[in-house]
Amino acid sequence: MNNSSNEIRYLTPPSVEVKKKKYCRFKKSRIRYVDYKDAEFLKKFLNEQGKILPRRLTGTSLKFQRKVSQAVKRARHLALLPYVTDLLK
């Protein structure tokens, strides 16, 4: 009885997504300071709605994720970046 339970057949083979090794772009390219005036660069860290992307997607380290979110919030205050929008890219 138990062998049928453990022998689960999938309709489609579970596609194990090849895990791309994420790296922190700031450590790799030795950037030390995230400039809040540089809207083009900050847009890489926002999704279409203009929200900040989480670390698990961008792969940035905690230290630089805080700097990026601080810079994005300053850019939003200065109306360089929108708080919310529909088509940012």
Summarize as ranges the residues that interact with another protein (CB under 8 A). 32-33, 35-37, 74, 76-83, 85
What is the closest distance, in whole angstroms, from the C-beta atom of residue 22 to another protein in the complex? 24
What single-letter amino acid sits at 2? N
Query: CA 13 to CA 4: how far, in whole Å?
Result: 18
Of the two residues 54 and 82, which places its CB atom closer to another protein in the complex? 82
| Residue the block writes with tokens 């900040």 | 52
* Comparison of 51 and 74: residue with beta carbon closer to another protein: 74
Looking at beta carbons only, is 22 or 82 nearer to another protein?
82
Shortest CB 59 distance to another protein, Å: 21
Q: What is the DSSP string of 4-24?
A: HHH-PPPSS---PPP------
For another protein, the closer of residues 1 and 87 by Cβ is 87
CB of 65 to another protein, least distance (A): 16
What residues contact 39, with CB distance under 8 A and at least 6 apart? Answer: 75, 80, 81
Q: Are 27 and 65 in contact (CB under 8 A)?
A: no
